[in-house]
Each structure stands twice: as C-alpha cells, then as structure tokens.
C-alpha cells in the first residue's frame, strides 16, 4: 500500500528514511563554522505562503512586488502545481537574499526550507487514514559540515529551535491542498487552469488575493460576516488561511464557508458557458485544421492524376 506524500524541498524522487519527532540527530550550525553560508551559495528554495508573508513584510513590499523582485516561477511536482522559488544572484546560484561574508539578510524571517535545512519535511496521508501526518528526514550534502558536530538534538527540539513550528501550523491546510492534488484520484481529477490561477494568487500573492476577497463579486457569492472581512484588511495570516479554506471548498468540496443561495449554481452556469465556449472554439480549431487537411489531400490527389 502506498502513501500520498508531499515534501519540502518538493519533488524528491526518493522516499528517504522517515524520522519521528523524538528521533535524535547530531547537527549544529553556527556563524563560525567552516562552511558558513555554503548552503545559501547553492540555493534552491521553494516558498510557502507564510514564507512570503514574512519576507515581504521584512522587505517592506507588497506580495506582488516581492514575487516580481525576488522569485522565479517553478512547479512543485510533475502535475504542474505552481510554486515559486527564491531568485539567485545573476552571476551565481547563491540566494539573492544572502550578503557575502555576512550571511542571510532576512535571517529572522528566513523561509521554512532554510529553517529546516538539513532536515526535510514530508507530509503524508495513508490511504485509509483521515488525517495527514508530518514526517521528517535528513538531507546529507558534502558541503554541510554541521553533521560532523557532536550535538544531539531531537527533531522536535530542532523544529522549535529553528522557529519552524509556527510556519508549519499556519501552512497546514495549504499542505493538505497539495496532498489532495498529488493523490488525485477519480473523485478529484485535475485542477483547471482557472483553479491553478486561483491557487497561485491565494497561495503566493496575498495582497492581490485581498482585493479579490474584498471585492463586490466575492460578497455576491459568499456570506462572510463584516468583522471577519474587515480583519482581512490588515491581517495577512488570517487572510491566507481563509484562502486555504476557500480553495479546499472550491477545488475539493470541503465546505466551510457559507455560500449565498444560488451562488453555486450561478458559478456552475458561468463555468458551463465558459466550457461550452471553449468546446466550440476547440471544435472550430479542429474543423479549421481538418478543412486544411482535406484541401491538402485534394491537392495531392489532383497532382497524382
Ligand atoms: S533566505 Fe537566507 S537562509 Fe535562505 S537561502 Fe537565502 S540567504 Fe540563505
Ligand atoms: S552547517 Fe550546513 S546549514 Fe550551517 S552554514 Fe554550513 S552548510 Fe549551511
């Protein structure tokens, strides 16, 4: 029996040895270590929604500006689920947020993957279990000398020391969305382009998502009380977590947000129109190609005579 998994860093082809919270590892990283910043000099850091909130706040930017300035688009698995990675320097694979000789310029707000390293995070859901589980594994890379340090620490202590528990708690429903997408299955199917666009906005571009949630169109479809809506004006974390619930509802039918009467049917009608329009367009395109093919065939037949 296989498990459904997603992991950070994403996309590892191997299922590594999984560690529990009380498993001890021997590791220590500190400013004077010989490999200081070696990891940041060859970085490939995929960001979670809470990472982006912390980083854009640290840098005094909107999420839209941050995405443009500091990230590149990526996918987190073989199914085209959008993700974003931190940009590297123009001339090297070093992280754009690293300052040579000094270290991380956003250390207090560094992303989940940086906090965890060299520990990896793996979210899993066993086929017969309702709830997903978090497991961990150790990544061993030659440049990282922290493994040689005699310092025993449990995974739970390490997560606490690195301040990553808060990150995992805030992102938990987001990991559930990815797990559901990865596990697929006939009842879920693949997400449409429109859903993937919504996933990108609600996951990574919280300031744009805010405009969507505060819009009249949103108010016409959902019954969310005025105080909650008001809190979204300033509270990025509440907003992004609301976005996770909205995605679980829209993509997978996990209903937790009250919809206005008829909103679902209205949306379906709108989608039906879009789908029919698309089908018609595809048919036209196909017909166009087919007509061209037939004309080509007729020409060939003519030349043969
Ligand atoms: S964000 Fe900071 S810790 Fe993470 S790779 Fe960049 S410089 Fe290193
Ligand atoms: S010990 Fe590992 S994590 Fe720490 S600076 Fe060196 S390479 Fe990076």
pLDDT in tens, 1-53: 334 445 555 445 455 788 989 999 999 999 999 999 999 999 999 999 999 99
Residue 104 and residue 64 share a domain: yes
| 27 C-beta closer than 6 A to ligand 2 | no
Task: Verify whether ligand 2 is closer than 6 Å to residue 209 (CB atom).
Answer: no
CA distance 281 to 67: 33
CA distance 1 to 244: 29
In this structure, which ligand is nearest to the CA of 28?
A: 2
Q: How far apart are CA 159 and CA 15, in angstroms?
A: 21
pLDDT, average across residues 234-260: 94
Q: Would 260 be classed as within a structural domain?
A: no
Structure tokens at 8: 């950070």
- 41 and 175 belong to one structural domain: yes
The domain of 291 spans 272-305
Do the domain assignments include residue 155? yes
Given 164, 183, 202, the domain boundary residue is 183
Look at residue 115 and tell me if it is in a domain: yes
The 10s digit of each residue's pLDDT in 140-153 is 999 999 999 999 99
Model confidence, pTM: 0.82
Q: Ligand 1 mean position to 67 CA, how many Å? A: 16
pLDDT (average), residues 194-210: 92
Q: How confident is the model at residue 122 (pLDDT cuts 50, 70, 90)?
A: confident
Number of domains the chain is built from: 3
Please, what is the average pLDDT of the chain? 84
In a domain, 265, yes or no: no
Probe target for ligand 2 pocket from 27, 28, 29, 147, with the most ligand atoms within 8 Å of CB: 29
Q: Are residues 136 and 197 in the same domain?
A: no
DSSP state of 145: G
Are the beta carbons of 176 and 132 closer than 8 angstroms?
yes
- Mark whether 197 and 179 lie in a shared domain: no
Is residue 117 a part of any domain in this protein?
yes
Q: Are 242 and 131 within one domain?
A: no
Residue 186 has pLDDT above 50, yes or no: no
Dihedral sign computed on CA atoms, order 98, 104, 107, 113: positive
Are residues 12 and 69 both part of a single domain?
yes
What would the two tokens of residue 84 be? Answer: 């974003």
* Domain identity same for 146 and 37: yes
* Residue 139 and residue 22 share a domain: yes
Q: Do 63 and 146 share a structural domain?
A: yes
Instruction: Among 183, 217, 234, give the residue marking a domain's end.
Output: 183
Distance 91 CA to ligand 2 centre (A): 22
Examine the domain organization and report whether 161 and 292 are in the same domain.
no
Is 258 a domain residue?
A: no
Contact between 179 and 132 under an 8 Å Cβ cutoff? The reply is yes
pLDDT in tens, 285-296: 555 655 554 565
Helix or strand (DSSP H, E) at 116: helix 112-116
Using CB distances shorter than 6 Å, the residues near ligand 1 are 40, 43, 45, 86, 95, 97-98, 104, 106, 110-111, 114
- Atom 7, ligand 2: residue with shortest CA distance: 144
Cα gap 80→74, rounded to integer Å: 9
Question: Does 101 share its domain with 205?
Answer: no
Note the ligand closest to the C-alpha atom of 112.
Answer: 1
Spacing, Cα 115 to ligand 1 middle (Å): 9
Query: Which whole-number Å values give the CA distances from 169 to 11, 139, 154, in the listed order?
Result: 22, 22, 19
Give mean pLDDT, residues 174-188: 73
- Whether 88 and 121 map to the same domain: the answer is yes
Residue 140 in domain: yes
């Amino acid at each position: 029996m296989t498990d459904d998994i997603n992991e950070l860093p994403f996309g590892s082809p191997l299922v590594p040895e999984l560690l529990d919270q009380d498993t001890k590892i021997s590791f220590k990283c500190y400013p004077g270590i010989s490999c200081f910043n070696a990891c940041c000099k060859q970085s490939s850091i995929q960001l979670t929604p809470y990472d982006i909130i912390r980083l854009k706040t640290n840098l005094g930017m909107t999420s839209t500006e941050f995405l443009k300035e500091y990230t590149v688009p990526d996918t987190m698995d073989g199914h085209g689920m959008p993700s974003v990675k931190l940009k590297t320097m123009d001339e090297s694979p070093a992280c754009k947020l690293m300052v040579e000789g000094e270290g991380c310029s956003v250390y207090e707000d560094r992303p989940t993957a940086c906090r965890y390293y060299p520990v990896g995070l793996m979210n899993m859901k066993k086929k017969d279990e309702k709830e997903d589980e978090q497991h961990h594994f150790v990544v061993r890379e030659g440049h990282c000398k922290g493994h040689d340090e005699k310092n025993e620490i449990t995974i739970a202590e390490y997560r606490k020391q690195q301040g990553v528990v808060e990150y995992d708690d805030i992102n938990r429903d987001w990991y559930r969305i990815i797990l559901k997408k990865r596990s697929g299955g006939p009842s879920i199917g693949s997400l449409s382009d429109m859903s993937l666009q919504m996933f990108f906005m609600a996951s990574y571009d919280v300031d744009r998502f805010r405009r969507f949630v505060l819009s009249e169109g949103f108010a016409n479809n959902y019954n969310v009380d005025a105080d909650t809506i008001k809190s979204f004006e300033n509270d990025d974390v509440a907003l992004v977590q609301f976005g996770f619930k909205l995605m679980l509802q829209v993509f997978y039918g996990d209903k937790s947000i009250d919809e206005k009467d008829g909103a679902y049917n209205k949306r379906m009608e709108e989608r039906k129109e879009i789908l029919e329009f698309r089908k018609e367009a595809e048919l036209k395109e196909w017909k166009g190609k087919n007509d061209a093919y037939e004309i080509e065939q007729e020409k060939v037949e003519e030349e043969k005579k």
